[in-house]
Amino acid sequence: MRGVSLRAAAACFTFILAWVHDASGSGVIVDIQSIPQDVCRDSTLTAYSFASTPFTYRFSGNCYLLNTRYALPITVPWTGVGTFDPASGKVTEEINIPEPTAAQPSRPYGRFTASMHCGGKDPWREATACGQIALSVNPPVTAYAPNIYGEYSRQVIQEVLNLYPRGGRPVTSNLSANDRQALVASLQAYTQAEAARQKQTQRLKQSVQPAPTLLANLAPYVVSPAAGSLFMSMTAVPIKLAPPPRRMTVTAYLARIERKDAQGNWTLVTNLPINIADASSASGYLGWGASGNGKGAPMIAGPGTYRISAQVSTPKPTGWSEAVEFVVTAPSKTIQKAPKMFGQ
């Protein structure tokens, strides 16, 4: 993309006499020829980004300068970065003509910084005028030597600064209508793609629940009571538990016993801490169900439908096992006494 012109020489500064010294030390007069109006040109848009704010536009080109000591022409690449913040409307631009190295002859250089507002519009995508322009350059024009060599550099630097009030916009924003339309189309395409991506991300978040931890996926097995088993009321219900898979270390369990009420809802009866020795013994844990020894009602098995589930409690809690239902019934009144033996 072409269209920027960093005019670096005032019209009045078209012919300069420079005093240089030859090897013998004698002075000779050398002409610094008429300086072109468009000293810095060949502007090319090299990159742009709408992925974050502010939007960013990068340019490059060439400056056609003279060495201030020997009046020899030199081509120096320049770079530029423009930004536009849609939220605040702030526009910035930075043009950098790099400093010569220690091995290179002296010449004009500088980092030009401008900030402005363009009525809330992006001057790279829209042809618009800007105001509130603030300018700076480093090094300043006063940094150059007070001689004819320094005067050439000061004229170049000042002319670049003059481009802003003269043009009333960023110097790299002088784009063709086709270039602007290409940027507008790129922003629209990015905006649509980003909206589609965000919708897809939202759908995935709604459809995928957070994964449970590994321990939450593990649970012990209820070996006894077996599903559907029947026990007499006020008798011990053997509780046997097996550890989760994966060779997990277990020192204690917590068994949860619930009872179904008349409305079919499960209500908690009690939670039983059971150590690994009792839960894995041949007889199982026998501390729940039988009456006596001052036990309270939650520890005695009355008639009804129950279910039991369990989790490892120590050393690290796991998830709860699937519940196993069993039934506790009262002794039947129809059971007859056994007949007496002969001779009794």
pLDDT digits (tens, 9 = 90+) for 20-53: 333 333 333 334 444 455 678 888 999 989 988 9
What 3-state DSSP class applies to 35? coil
Domain definitions of the chain by residue range: 16-191, 215-329
- Rounded (10°) CA dihedral 161, 99, 61, 10: 40
State how far the Cα of 117 lies from the Cα of 93, in Å rounded to an integer. Answer: 11
C-alpha to C-alpha distance for 285 and 283, rounded to whole angstroms: 7
pTM greater than 0.85 (yes/no): no
State pLDDT tens for residues 216-226.
Answer: 678 898 999 98
- CATH number for 215-329: choose from 2.60.40.10, 3.40.50.300, 2.60.40.420, 2.120.10.30: 2.60.40.10
Q: CA dihedral in degrees (146, 151, 156, 159; nearest 10)?
A: 90
The number of beta carbons lying within 10 Å of the beta carbon of residue 293 is 7
CA distances from 157 to 8, 189, 279, 302 (A): 7, 39, 89, 99
pLDDT digits (tens, 9 = 90+) for 248-299: 789 999 999 999 999 999 999 999 999 999 999 999 999 999 988 778 899 9
